[in-house]
Structure 1
Amino acid sequence: MTKQEFGETDRSLADRSLAGRIASALAARIVAGDLAPDTPVRQDHIAVEFQASHVPVREAFRKLEAQGLLIAAPRRGVRVAPLDPDALIEVTEMRAVLEPLALRHAMPKLAEPDLAVAEEALLAAETSRDIAVWEAANRRFHAALWHPCAMPRLRATLDDLNRVAARYLYATWKELAWQPRSDQEHRDLLAIIRSGERDLACERLGDHILAAGQALHAHLTQPDRA
């Protein structure tokens, strides 16, 4: 899974340093579940894999800790962060506020090429049952709508939040009927944006994010969930 597939925008694409590349590769593994929660992540092993000194590896680890994907604990070292339902709600509520904010600023600048990217992503999602393809298309769809806001700090924050949210989707997608409803909500949202109804588009986007996050949270907190 490539960095482009994750639909990332400003900071991640600009960060082509060795530490940035290491962080991106590890983030992809954590999000997809290839590195399971609580798995130890050893600096020396990562340094050997990427033929790097420990300095960029430590920097990459700090980036991933800041994103909530790794945790460091005394005597336990660095490990993959657990799937925390409370963290999911925090990320969901932040996205539900910040993505509509970005969309509000983006809509006056949205051009046909931006909408074409969103349409392509929507079609890719609707025609695939592969979670990796769908999730990448989902992030491309969202980013296409708010990228023209021209607020780089906000876009970078949304990249981080969407990456963390994707991890929870990967962990639960087989057990939830998530795809048809989400695809339809995306199509409805795109139609509203094309009609120029900015307030309604921002409201629908926030509702869409909240509903998805709350469904994932409810599933993760089921008493019989292993």
Structure 2
Amino acid sequence: MLDSDDLKSSDEEDDASVKDDNNLDKGNENDEDGDVSGNEIEMDGVDEVDANAQSIGCVKVIDDVELPGNVLYKTGKPLYALILTPTRELAIQISRHLIAAAKYTGIRVATIVGGMAEVKQERVLRSGPEIVVATPGRLWELLNQGQPHLQQLTAVKFLAIDETDRMLERGHFEELEPLLERLNCEESHRSARQNFVFSATLTLVHDLPTHMKGKKVT
């Protein structure tokens, strides 16, 4: 059963609620009549600040920093190795082996070959793979289109050419020569790069060592 004090307290709460509602309505009317809004108040506060007396904000501290070549491009990730193969099937096979070997390392492998959607391959390259396995034709095409990640090719640390005998066949893989010229255009990068050539049938003829010249070789 409610006593007189409880009834009085309830009445006071109702009166306070009515006053709050009235104040809210007046505030809304003022906004509709063109009074200053919250955003304008905030802007006024900013306008009153003396910009010369403040030291908070975004400041350009270092001018014209020259970054290493392997981090200049949009991906912001380095391209470490390039593997060239004569066929699409071989490139896919090599990529699968590399992906399996690098499963727990975070190293990513991109396969760039003809016969596959160019848009998809560009999307893979935008993710910044560290290793690219490619056929010369499609790689040269994307390189000439200015694909950002591939502009790091001159700075790769490792270059491997598989089935070199087939790659060097006359009239085939015409893009290989300009690709190698592009890769070798900077002496500092060329001397720091490790090159690997693989072939089951290629024969290389070397001059005999000095200590063996003039001797009968059997």
Structure 1 length-normalised TM: 0.22
- The structure that is strand-richer by fraction is 2
Structure richer in helix, relative to its length: 1
- Greater relative contact order (CA < 8 Å, ≥ 6 in sequence): 1
Structure showing greater radius of gyration is 2
